Structure 1
Amino acid sequence: MAETDSNKLGSSLQQMVTMMITNGIILAAFLIAYLLIRNYKENKRIYQPRSFVPTVPEELKTKPVPVNPIQWFKGLLTKPDDQILLETGLDGYFFVRYLRIFTTICLAGCLFFWPILFPINATGDAQGVSGLDILAFGKVNSNGQSNRFYAHVLMSWLFFGSILFVLYRELVYYVNLRQVILTSPAYASKASARTIMLASVPAPFLTEEGLRSLFAGVKHVWINRAQKELIQKVNERSKLSNKLEVAENKLIQMALKNKFKAEKKGQPIEGNKICDFVLDKKRPTHKLKFLIGDKVDTIDYAREKIADLNEEIAELQAHYDTAPPQNSAFIMFDTQEQAQTAFQVVCHHEAFHAAPRYIGIRPDEIVWSNARLIWWERLVKAAGALAFICALIIFWAVPVAFVGTISNIKYLTQKLPWLGFINNLPDVLLGLITALLPAILLAVLMALLPIILRLCAKIAGAPSKSKIEHTTQNYYFAFQVIQVFLITTISSTATAVIPKIIDNPSSAMNLLAEKLPVASNFYIAYFLLQGLTFPGGALLQIVPLILFKALGFIFDNTPRKKWTRYNILDSTAWGTIFPIYANLVVIALVYSTIAPLVLIFAALAFFLVYIAFLNNLTYTNMPSDDRGIYYPRAIYQTFTGIYLNEVCMLGLYVVSKSYGPIVLQAILLGVTVFVHINLEKAIDPLLTVLPRDMTRWDRISNGDKSSNDGAGKFSDTTPLMGDKSLYHDDSASHHPTDKFHDIDIEKTVEFPSGSNNTDNGRMDSNEGSMMENPESISPPKANAFMRFIQPYTYLSPHVLRETMLTSPHYHQKPAEIPFEEERLIYAHPAVNDDAPLIWIGKDPLGLGDTEAEQLNQAGVSATTTAAWFDIKENKKGKKKIEIRCGDLKEVPIWSGITRH
């Protein structure tokens, strides 16, 4: 009987070992390959581009990867937080922090649950439970051992109570760190920090004068205008110029190859024109319309068409301000404080008018097609996108449910004899099919979604790329929880109990309660896949390796493509990265009390993913500049795991009729709801705005005394917003410092008589707000526990300024943008689009120079500067042509990274 039960139920130790060995071998292979090839000179562009690629700004360059593997690993483990923040940016820093926190929580959960719950579960007398499942909740007999559930519920109170406090602490930390960074000189002076986007602007205010009347301190106004013809022509010119550039370089390479072939046959070709080396019928061509259009010579047609478009576009650009206005605008202010005040003001008495408002949008990330949306269009599009997402979730449940059944397919073989052959497979192969295969299939299914979800976010009306990623984060998390967790859990549990439910329908609830922990075996496999296989692949950079070693040779057929692939680094798409690991956190939390064994595999997965991401964010990827917006959403999404655990455990207690645990669990659920609601009320207003005291402190600390009456105090009549001369940054009169503690605030603020303020703070007589002095304020010394439980004291803004903003990078203002250039920053790109430059490689025959000269004569800009075709001959006498590019200063298509 025991042997039969063992075959029917539970995940065997053999399957577990098989999964660990398989994934461990993959991890070891990837890791060894990474350590062996990363330091070769030709591979440094793949594994450590931020240490030397010239397009990376100096302040963002990192040290080379240590050659010694031990030093490399130790360096990642011991890297201080302030350095991680500087090298990975706010988004990257908070992502790896998220992984690090839940690595710690899962390890703490193992130490907390295992010594108590493992013995309680393992000594339960529920029948039919064997293998690793004896360590789970289902081993306790709900009919005769319900008193044991008090241990589970009391442990839940302590464990989840601690997690709730950690989530609160992290939100406080996030808000304070975000505020000190966004009010630092490096950020506060950026154009994006001083610019708001106003949507659905009513017609009476849709003029520069009208918008200036709504706000004070306005420096520039950009009204979005209907420029359909201009945009179409610019897009057409861009496509044609790409075709022309590809065709010119392809033609030259074709000419060189023909010459080499002729020389090999002893038939030298002389000449300095393309026609001397390439027949007219071999020249690049394309159709004007897909499939049915007329075929034209690409170079001749594009040369003539681009020249005409240049004139037409220049004419339209010169009169762009006469185009009819659309219903949105960008407004730049003299100071960040003024922009924040305008952002937080309700601008119009009608609902949905002059709203929504956005701040911090960079010019290069604007989704211009959504800038024109009327308020009702935005609502309809958002509703339509949400409806489509809901339908997609339902549709996606079918293949995901099938994947879930595979993990427990042996339970169906008894009722479906035609599946009986599966039981005859070797144990190792059976373990791979039922454990590893479903995890792989699920990962593949989920990898197909991001493109669809980002398109839905764009359709929903997101005004910028960062907002698209932020919306995608919500969509993708819903998919992850519903498909990867709920559907898979239900289908996996159902297949385990369907045979018995068919035989005895009245036992359904008891069976589901007993067998729910069985689904945890699938997630152990999923954690092993995500925690062992993925980090190894991420370190090895498999996709970039393939692109550079194989596909790059095929597709990089112009100097521009070659140079761009090598010199322009990607940043991370957080909208689909955060949800994957937030969902893993949800799974770990749900099963923490049901099957505590999951926690050790979750901790291993989070730790290894932490190492992989920290390495790549430090050495490979450029930091994104989305200002950490994904972290608080991930924190709130973590509540999903807490709720699901508490509801699930409550259901299990109800099934077992354990009334004491039911009451205690219901109270815990109520406490969680209370904490969640009040956290949102307290924190949400601080997630998108900068408080007044922070923006004022930033202005004072940067030496802006424009609102000081000259007598050592702020005048009571100082306007909060007014003439821009009050706030305009005049470098001749301001003296920014490199360190905040160099500022003596006592010389700037006079404190009211009778004030009881001491070294703990200073009161602004005008606003009544605390103006803290980092030099004189320091929290009292305390042990680690006291520092942990008092985040408002030990993670306050002035403490974080001193401990996290240690690099001069944060305290240096960016170079001031010339007024004429600044005046065009938020205009539509088509308005400022320059005539394209066709970049052709030089060649030994001088054909590239000849082609460039002909293009210039036809009115199309072209050059061969800093690009050439390098010809190498192998031992067999075969000549190989490669495109080479010159130094950064010589490259004609690079003008530097603009950081607005």
Structure 2
Amino acid sequence: MHRALCMLALTVSAPALVAAAGDSSSDTSTSTVITTMVYSLIMAGVFSILFLVLRPKFDNIYQPRSYLSRPATRNVEPLSHSMMGWIKEFISLPDTEILRRNGLDAYMFISYLNMALWIIVPIWILSWIVLLPLYAANLASPKAGFNMFTIGNVITASKRTDQDRSAGILILNYIFIAWILVNIHMRMKQFIRLRQEFLTSPEYRNTVQAKSILVTGVPNELLSETKMTQLYGQLPGGVEKVWINRNMRDLPKLVEQRDKLVLKQEAAVTKLIKAAYKLVKKGKVEAADVDPNGEPSVDVAERYVPTKKRPTMRLGKIPCVGQKVDTIEYCRSEIPRLNQEIESMRQRAMTDYDAFPPQSSAFVLFRNQLSAQMAASTEACHSPYRMSERYTEAHPKDVIWSNLNMNPYEKKIRNVAFWVVTWLTVVFWFIPVAVVSIFSQVDYLTTKVPFLSWIEKIPNVPLGIIKGILPVAALAILNMLLPIWLRFLAKQSGIPTRNGVELSLMTRFSIFQLLQNFLVLAILQASMNNVSAFAKTLTPPNASAFVSQISNALPRANTFFLQWVFVAGMGAAPGMFLQIVPLIVYYVKMKLLGSTPRTVWHLKNDMGAPAWGTLFPSTLLIMVIVFGYMILAPVVNGFAAVSIFLLYIAYRYLFLFVFDCKPQTETAGLFFPHAINWTFAGLYLGTLLVALTYFFNSGSNTSYIAFGVLTIVLLAVILAYHLFLMNSYGPLLQSVPLDLTMQYQGDAQNEKSAYDNSNQLVSGNGYPSRPEPLQQQQPNSTLLPEKDAYYINDVGATSHSQSHIVQMNDQYAQHGGSKRGQQQTNDDYLNSFYNPARTSKQLTLWYPNDRLGIGRSEVAQDQRAGYSSTTQHAGLTEKGAVDEDATFAPGEEP
């Protein structure tokens, strides 16, 4: 999303210099590419200068992970605030620091970009040394621009020298493929080792998700804790606890309604305080002295704000319709009622299995990781589809609870139905993609299609924008909108975890990248370049001539992809460094949405995170373009090498200093093998295109047919190696080898349940907590009413202390225990896989501590109503804006 937004911002702001694209005196496609390059370079320079100037001033935008990580041991050392001094410090950080601070998924994405560099750079150098002169030599007619460096300049001739040159192309293709396969093998081997180390580390193997499985499609006769314990208790080690998923009826809606009212009351009280301050400031009300250590009277707000100006809301689901009520009074009466109703339903749910019946899924916690692995690979039921889907490594916060109530037949039907919808979307997405292609080739259409000749009358500047900038911007917008729809389809298919949805989204989106954003676009680009030639093959119909025209034109359709690759790297990477969109959004939200201490806290403390289901496919598109054109039009190789390098640097910075990958999103690198599979898909497509180019342009020349056959043999070699690789490493992706579990067993005491000792606190997911390293503590500002204590000093983006930087234990960090260093009670551990509607607590309401005493007065009234609220660590600045200095928002402590 970051890259798509940067590309969109870059392309929609085209300046007048794109007018050069309208010059038809030379190769217009090449002119358009050069124009896009020049514009991208100018904007990259502007973005880079802005980044260098703004970076030292806004730590919360450019290096929030230097002080905002929780726990503080996950912070990274902050970079220097000098304009250029930080570069050396950034370069000196190894990639493994990402593994230690942000997990294996983040590290493997950076590793994939690193692999791409190792693949592309040698191919770039060798192809430019060998292929460019080979393609450009002995041309029958002079050609301008990038089209002089395409394979069609060689294989369309029948001279002996051209056949020799084609043989050189074939040999180089074999060399390239061999180099690609070697690099893939090395990275896959490294990944398997890292994943196994991660899963078998002491910090991880004692977590609740490492020792548990999610089973769906459980038959009714086994839907009880006793039966499931007996069933899986046969495995070595036995079962520690079973959670049966239950139909919670209206309980989730009641909890959701209560939580919304809590936020509404926080906003209403804050609005009331601000209204009082405005009236005092305007002199309409005189401020009264309030005892800072006493409890203000309950009617203090009435002294400053008349009833008609108090915050109100309308009841009902339709906006602006329904009874108008006082927001604070309504929430104060409804929250206790909902709390009582929620608690009553929870008590009933503990014993009333008729009103809250079990549903067809369960979580089973074993006493050790090995038992969980065995259970996941063992068929548990003799009936078809029953208990056939078993999920390991499910984090409690990763579960999609609404997808756990499907019977296996319903889930199969939904999965098929929504995949059908996905493929229909693939087919019909051809229409907007075709429109994008038409825009990029509008100059060819004006000369070949008579009724479009009016386009030539458009002035150079708008015509240049239409040809050079609009297509890339349109494709960026399409790529931003499509994942939203595909993620919805994946979720509706019944996948029970959000990580599973992202993996499914990656597959669906990669299909689009391969078929629509590459293959269809390439064919459309080739077609637009040869409209008149294609028309002759259609009247009368001549299928072989048409295919030959397509294959001959395909290499010359590289100019659009040159633009795309260059903008994706040179254009987007500096924008990713600048973080212009997050920077603007942050200050807009702080100004417009920072209405309560809680919203301000989240704006200041929440960090961004990647959406893996879209991030990998977006990068894969560049690899597909490289594999498709590394032989057909090797000019692309150089553009791609530069772009991949810039993206590698940009994402490396983001994962080190900006992104925060939460434990619940960690899959221990499962996106990487999916990326490898789609890399092979790009290889298949690129190799097939080369073979078809030989076949369809051979005519009566048998040499070219032989070259095509040898290329098909190369394709078979790639397929065989792909099958070998997945057959070798595939079984190791979903299970932990027995020899490793034995190697890391250690003392049996280490494998005991975290709640065996009632006095032992456990960390986030059930393993004994480590002592926190000593830290320099920032003095807590209690906002007590001393001097100007009703105010918090106006603060900038760097107001948080940066002294919480400690060196994390290497082994502990590398193997990534979930919710590192955080602690929770035994009850939280035992409640890990209950539906959150059964266990979630009401948030403590949080108001600003104001000098008029309104906030503390509302706190007292809340306590009388039966629920808690606070004004600690929150107040108003001297300018009347809400601010806070809390470590955690009340009620959201880990």
Q: TM-score range by the shorter chain?
A: 0.7 to 0.9
Q: Identify which range, 226-235 or 577-586, moves more after superposition.
A: 226-235
Instruction: State the distance in 2 between where 1:727 and 1:247 align.
Output: 42
Length-normalised TM-score, structure 2: 0.84
Aligned partner of 1:57 in structure 2 is 71
- Compared with structure 1, are the counterparts of its residues 730 and 555 closer, same or farther at alpha carbon in structure 2 (3 Å cutoff)? closer
Q: Which residue of 2 aligns with 1:280?
A: 307
Which residue is 2:33 aligned to? 16
Which secondary structure does the structure 1 equivalent of 2:243 belong to?
strand
- Structure 1 Cα separation of the partners of residues 447 and 154 of structure 2: 26
Does 1:436 pair with 2:469? Answer: yes
CA distance, structure 2, for counterparts of residue 849 and residue 125 of structure 1: 85
> Is the counterpart of residue 687 in structure 1 residue 704 in structure 2?
no
1:615-636 CA deviation, whole Å, 9 max, x = no partner?
Answer: 0110111134232111110011
Aligned to 2:147: 133
The answer to which of 340-349 and 640-649 deviates more is 340-349
- Structure 1 distance, partners of 2:342, 2:739, is 47
The 8 Å contact of residues 269 and 276 in structure 1, kept in 2 or not, is answered as no
Q: State the match for 1:36 in structure 2.
A: 53
The structural deviation recorded for 1:425 is 6.5
> Which position in structure 1 is the counterpart of 2:881?
882
Cα drift, residue 285 of structure 1: 2.2
User: Is the deviation greater in 818-827 or in 66-75?
Assistant: 66-75
**Contact 1:303 1:860 (C-alpha < 8 Å) held by counterparts:** no
Give the equivalent residue in structure 1 for 2:653. Answer: 615
Rounded Cα–Cα distance in structure 2 between residues aligned with 1:737 and 1:268: 50
Whether 2:514 is the aligned partner of 1:476: answer: no
Structure 2 unaligned regions, length at least 5: 1-22, 290-296, 699-703, 761-766, 771-807
Bigger mean CA deviation after superposition, 349-358 or 579-588: 349-358
Q: 1:535 aligns with which of 552, 555, 573?
A: 573
Distance apart, 1:219 and its partner CA:
0.8
User: C-alpha separation between the residues in 2 aligned to 1:237 and 1:384?
Assistant: 36
Name the amino acid aligned to 2:207: K
CA distance in 2, matches of 1:621, 1:287: 39
Partner deviation per Cα, 1:177-223 (whole Å, 9 max, x = no partner): 10011111121111111111011112222111111122232111100
Count of paired positions: 792
Distance 2:621 2:177 in 1: 17
The aligned counterpart of 1:749 is none
The 2-side partners of 1:13 and 1:302 are apart by 64
Aligned ranges 1:454-603 → 2 under 5 Å: 454-505=487-538, 506=542, 507-603=545-641
Q: Of 641, 647, 651, which aligns to 2:692?
A: 651
CA change 1:727–1:278 in 2 (3 A) is closer
Counterpart of 2:166 in structure 1 is: 149
Query: Is residue 448 of structure 2 the alignment partner of residue 415 of structure 1?
Result: yes
Distance 2:617 2:674 in 1: 10
Question: Separation in 2 of the partners of 1:328 and 1:356?
Answer: 10
- Cα deviation 1:157-193 (Å, max 9, x = unaligned): 1111221222222222211110011111121111111
SS at match of 2:447: coil
State the partner residue of 1:105: 119
The corresponding residue for 1:251 is 272
Residue aligning to 2:724? 678
| SS of equivalent residue, structure 1 residue 319 | helix
User: Do the aligned partners of residues 847 and 731 (structure 1) sit closer, same or farther apart at CA in structure 2, a change above 3 Å counting?
Assistant: closer
Higher mean alpha-carbon deviation, 127-136 vs 613-622, is at 127-136
**Equivalent position to 2:435, from 402, 408, 416:** 402
Alignment of 1:284-299 (within 5 A): 284-289=311-316, 290-291=318-319, 292-299=321-328
Aligned CA distance change for structure 1 residues 128 and 664 (closer, same or farther; 3 Å): same
Native 8 Å contact 2:211 2:372 kept in 1: yes
Rounded Cα–Cα distance in structure 2 between residues aligned with 1:868 and 1:172: 54
Q: Secondary structure at the match of 1:571?
A: coil
* Superimposed CA distance per residue, residues 310-329 of structure 1 (whole angstroms, 9 cap, x where no aligned partner): 11111111232332111101
Highest relative contact order (Cα 8 Å, sep 6+), 1 or 2?
2
Q: Matches of 1:235 and 1:121 in 2, distance apart?
A: 65
CA distance in 1, matches of 2:213, 2:615: 28
Q: Which residue of 1 aligns with 2:713?
A: 667
Segment drifting more, 64-73 vs 96-105: 64-73
SS of structure 1 residue aligned to 2:851: coil
The letter of the residue matching 1:665 is T
Give the Cα separation in 2 of the matches to 1:607 and 1:560. 40
Out of 877, 890, 893, the position equivalent to 1:892 is 890
Q: Which residue matches 1:304?
A: 333
Shift of 1:835: 2.7
Greater than 6 Å deviation, 4+ residue runs: 266-271, 424-429, 724-732, 735-738, 811-816
1:220 aligns with 241
- Offset at residue 27 of structure 1 (A): 1.0
Aligned mates of 2:228, 2:657 — CA distance in 1: 45
- The residue that corresponds to 1:386 in the other structure is 419
CA distance in 2, matches of 1:885, 1:11: 57
Measured against aligned partners, the alpha-carbon deviations of 1:101-120 in whole angstroms (never above 9, x if no partner) come to: 11221111112222221122
Change (3 A) 1:808 1:260: same
Instruction: Indicate conservation of the 8 Å contact 1:588/1:599, yes or no.
Output: yes
Structure-to-structure mapping, 1:75-94, within 5 angstroms: 75-94=89-108
Matched AA of 1:100: N
Structure 2 CA distance for aligned equivalents of residues 126 and 280 of structure 1: 88
Give distance in 2, aligned partners of 1:819 and 1:220: 13
Change (3 A) 1:442 1:208: same
* Counterpart among 169, 173, 194 of residue 177 in structure 1: 194
Map Cα deviations across residues 666-693 of structure 1 (whole Å, 9 max, x no partner).
Answer: 1111111111222222222111211111
Distance in 2 between the 1:240 and 1:346 partners?
46
Secondary structure, aligned partner of 1:357 = strand
Matched, 1:821 2:828: yes
Change (3 A) 1:22 1:812: closer
What is the deviation of 1:472? 1.0
Shift of 1:124: 4.7
Change (3 A) 1:56 1:126: farther
**CA contact under 8 A between 2:63 and 2:658: conserved in structure 1?**
yes
Report Cα offsets for 1:270-309 as digits up to 9, x if no partner.
9962222223222222222214432222222221111111
Q: Could you tell me which residue of structure 1 aligns to residue 398 of structure 2? A: 365
C-alpha offsets along residues 562-595 of structure 1, whole Å, 9 cap, x if unaligned?
Answer: 0112112232111111100011111111100000
Displacement of 1:393 in angstroms is 2.0
Counterparts of 2:110 and 2:465, CA distance in 1: 31
Q: What fraction of aligned residue pairs are identical, expressed as a percent? A: 31
TM-score, normalised to structure 1's length? 0.83
Contact 1:129 1:139 (C-alpha < 8 Å) held by counterparts: no
Tell me, in whole angstroms, the C-alpha distance in 2 between the residues paired with 1:215 and 1:269: 69
Q: Structure 2: which amino acid aligns with 1:82?
A: T
Q: Tell me which residue corresponds to 2:851.
A: 844
Q: Give the distance between the partners of 2:865 and 2:308, measured in 1 at CA.
A: 23
Q: Secondary structure at the match of 2:634?
A: coil
Determine helix, strand or coil for the equivalent of 2:849: coil
| Greater mean alpha carbon deviation, residues 809-818 or residues 233-242 | 809-818
Aligned residue in 1 for 2:251: 230
Other structure's SS at 1:38 match:
helix
Measured in 1, the distance between the counterparts of 2:195 and 2:263 equals: 41
Matched, 1:46 2:61: yes
Q: Distance in 2 between matches of 1:309 and 1:67?
A: 50
CA distance 1:341–1:501, change in 2 (3 Å):
same
Q: Is the 8 A contact 1:26 1:532 kept in 2?
A: no
* 1:802-813 map, 5 Å: 806-810=810-814
Contact 2:99–2:106 (CA under 8 A) maintained in structure 1: yes
Q: Is the 8 A contact 2:628 2:682 kept in 1?
A: yes
Amino acid at match of 2:149: L
Partner of 1:450: 483
